[in-house]
């Protein structure tokens, strides 16, 4: 290998120093390198700083230092007092690490936008322990309005409303009580985010913590235009914030929803008493209708002979409507929803839904159509119980949905 004289070395460094980063190198990247380098110099001992000043007085080494900074920016490196090898998030290990944690706490904020200046904000304090279950206390305007317990080992869940002094009890099936089915546990969300492709967001700082982020779209949960984000501490490899933005049904309309989990405390000690529902003696139990009770539901008025003949047909129409949604047969769906615009967002919600239950159609004095109890499960996992309202369209002679969906 031939020797390179000092003049040639200087020329080559001059060429490198004239390099101008492209548009993909942001001002922030350059600033990070400058700050890291400043911190590195500032943290040196007096003798080391003296050597640095000597180096920087040399024409060749000054050009070399400039080249190092440029190369660092190009490669996305930053300087630390420990050298160029810095900690980063090992995404494949995040789930493995949090699964080993037996208990944690976190806060959650849910924001539903009705208009630009009208938003409903719900904040919750959450406790999660593998040995006991989950507890969530929900607040609006600083007032506690719901306390939720999910106790999978006992196969039961409770929802308490302290202000109304009422509560409900829900028996959980084996599937509902199984590990990984609780949406109140952030690890359920983590698995969802890390289960497929995602885009890396780079580094940021959240409340003084250096984090790296990723984002993804899971249509079965977020819809076509929604997004999920995960921010993880680069030092501990533990989540710092989880975000979900999507459109959801609220008050019969699609509205923007935003969920933020933060203030995580990982691997904490939680007493068993936290997960014991405090049901006062003056609390009233509200019954939750079971499917068998729904099937036997009495009509609000007696049916005529003609209506009795139409009753099975009304039930079959509802079944075909839900089947068209499941099969994403939108040309058929629009026949039942002629006054609804079937856009992509609605398709993401209705497509692939599962029919869990259809009750016996009945009539009421206040509505000339049919009321049909039902329960469906959306592709994202949420379930909906309601009573569909259908009537026959005079023009087409077909049954159409006019309410309850």
DSSP 226-283: -EEEEEEETTT--EEEEEEEEEEEETTEEEEEEEEEEEEEES----GGGGS----TTP
Per-residue pLDDT of the chain (405 residues; tens, 9 = 90+): 444 555 555 555 455 445 444 444 445 555 555 555 555 555 555 554 554 454 455 555 555 555 444 444 444 443 333 444 456 788 989 999 999 999 999 999 999 988 878 889 999 999 999 889 999 999 998 899 999 999 999 999 999 999 989 999 988 888 777 776 677 889 989 988 998 899 999 999 999 999 999 999 987 777 777 899 999 999 999 999 999 998 876 665 678 899 999 999 999 999 999 999 989 899 999 876 554 344 344 445 788 888 888 889 999 999 999 999 999 999 999 889 887 778 887 888 889 999 999 988 898 877 888 999 999 988 877 788 888 888 888 778 888 888 887
pTM, whole model, 2 decimals? 0.56
**DSSP string computed for 162-186:** TTTTEEEEEEPPHHHHSTT--TTSH
3-class DSSP assignment, residue 359? coil
**Residue 4, CB half-sphere, CA atoms under 13 Å: how many?**
8
pLDDT of residue 175: 78
Going from the N-terminus, what domains does the chain have, and what CATH number goes with each? Answer: 6-75 (no CATH), 91-285 (2.50.20.10), 291-403 (3.10.450)
CA distances for 188 relative to 182, 184, 339, angstroms: 7, 8, 37
Contact 155, 171 (CB under 8 A): yes
The strand ranges marked E within 51-185 are: 103-115, 118-129, 133-140, 143-151, 156-161, 166-171
Token pair 């039942």 in the structure block, residue = 336
C-alpha–C-alpha distance, residues 191 and 184, integer Å: 13
- Retrieve residue 124's tokens: 């919750």
Quote the DSSP letter at residue 194: T
CA end-to-end span of the chain: 79
Query: What is the model's pLDDT at position 231?
Result: 97
Q: What is the pLDDT of residue 262?
A: 96
Q: How many CB atoms lie within 10 A of CB 99?
A: 13
Closest CA to 388 of 328, 289, 317, 332: 317
Helix (H, G, I), strand (E, B) or coil at 206: strand
pLDDT value of residue 324: 93
Q: How far apart are CA 122 and CA 112, in angstroms?
A: 9
């Amino acid at each position: 290998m031939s020797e390179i004289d000092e003049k040639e070395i200087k020329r080559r460094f001059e060429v490198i120093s004239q390099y101008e980063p492209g548009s993909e190198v942001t001002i922030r990247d350059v600033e990070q390198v400058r700050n890291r380098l400043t911190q590195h110099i500032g943290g040196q001992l007096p003798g080391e700083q003296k050597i640095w000043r000597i180096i920087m007085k040399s024409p060749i080494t000054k050009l070399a230092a400039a080249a190092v900074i440029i190369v660092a920016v190009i490669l996305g490196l930053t300087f630390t007092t420990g050298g160029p090898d810095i900690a980063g998030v090992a995404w494949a290990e995040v789930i493995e690490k949090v699964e080993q944690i037996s208990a944690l706490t976190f806060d959650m904020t849910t924001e539903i936008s009705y208009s630009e200046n009208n938003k409903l904000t719900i904040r919750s304090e959450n406790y999660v322990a593998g040995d006991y279950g989950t507890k969530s206390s929900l607040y609006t305007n600083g007032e506690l309005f719901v306390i939720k317990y999910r106790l999978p080992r006992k196969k039961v869940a409770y929802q308490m409303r302290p202000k109304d002094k009422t509560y409900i009890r829900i028996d959980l099936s084996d599937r509902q009580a199984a590990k990984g089915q609780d949406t109140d546990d952030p690890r359920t969300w983590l698995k969802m985010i890390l289960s497929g492709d995602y885009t890396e967001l780079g580094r940021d700082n959240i409340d003084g913590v250096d984090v790296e982020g990723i984002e993804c779209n899971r249509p079965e949960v977020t819809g076509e235009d929604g997004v999920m984000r995960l921010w993880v501490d680069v030092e501990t490899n533990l989540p710092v914030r989880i975000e979900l933005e999507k459109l959801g049904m609220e008050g019969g309309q699609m509205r923007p929803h935003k969920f933020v989990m933060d203030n995580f405390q990982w691997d904490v000690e939680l007493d068993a008493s936290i997960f014991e529902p405090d049901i006062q003696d003056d609390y009233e139990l509200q019954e939750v209708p079971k499917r068998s009770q729904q099937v036997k539901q009495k009509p609000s008025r007696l049916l005529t002979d003609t209506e009795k003949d139409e009753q099975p047909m009304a039930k079959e129409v509802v079944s075909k409507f839900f089947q068209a949604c499941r099969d994403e047969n939108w040309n058929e769906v629009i026949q039942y929803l002629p006054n609804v615009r079937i856009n992509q967002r609605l398709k993401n919600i209705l497509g692939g839904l599962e029919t869990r239950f259809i009750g016996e159609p009945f009539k009421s004095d206040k509505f000339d159509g049919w009321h049909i109890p039902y329960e469906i499960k959306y592709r994202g996992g949420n379930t909906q119980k309601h009573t569909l309202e259908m009537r026959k369209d005079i023009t087409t002679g077909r049954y159409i949905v006019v309410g309850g969906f």
